[in-house]
């Protein structure tokens, strides 16, 4: 009797920045690794991450994630100094960093983190090159989304 074990399917998403889709036009997507300390990984596994208001800066040819808050666990070791709002280094290839620098400096893009997720045993961050929306653009986006939803209802009831 050879039984297969049923592993429970868990979502690999750790945290989302839903506000970024509302505030920005998201254009080019990048996937970056994250340089973390041990206590941060434990807190991420416990789901104590806040990715809203997080963004990326580039300093001396290296990318850093700012504004991401990882709250330490109460069971964390007492000899480790936990700074929940520290800047975390992003692991990107030099070609990707050069592309981010060029878009930010020449074309006025922002670099925004939108999601944090597990990829195998690694924590990855999804970042986008983004342009800021004006209030009129935000209203248009909401109006278009509502119209698409209404069209779906009409099509569903007419068929």
Percent of the chain at pLDDT exceeding 90: 33
Architecture of domain 13-132: Beta Barrel (2.40)
Tokens of 63: 């990318």
- pLDDT, tens digit (0-9, with 9 covering 90-100), for 15-30: 898 888 888 888 899 9
Tokens of 71: 């709250």
- pLDDT, tens digit (0-9, with 9 covering 90-100), for 106-151: 888 889 999 999 998 899 999 999 888 777 777 888 888 899 999 9
> Environment class of residue 109 by beta-carbon count within 10 Å: exposed (0-12), middle (13-18) or buried (19+)?
buried
Q: Where are the domains of the chain?
A: 13-132
- pLDDT, tens digit (0-9, with 9 covering 90-100), for 53-83: 888 999 998 999 999 988 888 876 667 778 8
How does residue 33 score in pLDDT terms, banded at 50, 70 and 90?
Answer: very high
């Amino acid at each position: 009797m050879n039984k297969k074990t049923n592993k429970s399917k868990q979502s690999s998403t750790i945290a989302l920045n839903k506000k970024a889709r509302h505030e920005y036009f998201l254009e080019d997507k990048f996937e970056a690794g994250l340089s973390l300390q041990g206590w941060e990984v434990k807190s991420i596994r416990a789901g104590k991450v806040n990715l809203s208001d997080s963004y990326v800066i580039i300093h001396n040819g290296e990318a850093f994630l700012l504004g991401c808050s990882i709250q330490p666990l109460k069971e964390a070791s007492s000899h480790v100094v936990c700074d929940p709002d520290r800047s975390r280094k992003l692991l990107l290839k030099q070609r990707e960093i050069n592309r981010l620098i060029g878009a930010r400096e020449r074309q006025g893009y922002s670099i925004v983190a939108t999601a944090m997720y597990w990829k195998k045993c690694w924590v990855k961050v999804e970042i986008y090159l983004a342009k800021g929306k004006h209030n009129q653009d935000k209203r248009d986006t909401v109006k278009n989304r509502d119209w698409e939803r209404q069209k779906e209802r009409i099509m569903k009831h007419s068929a």
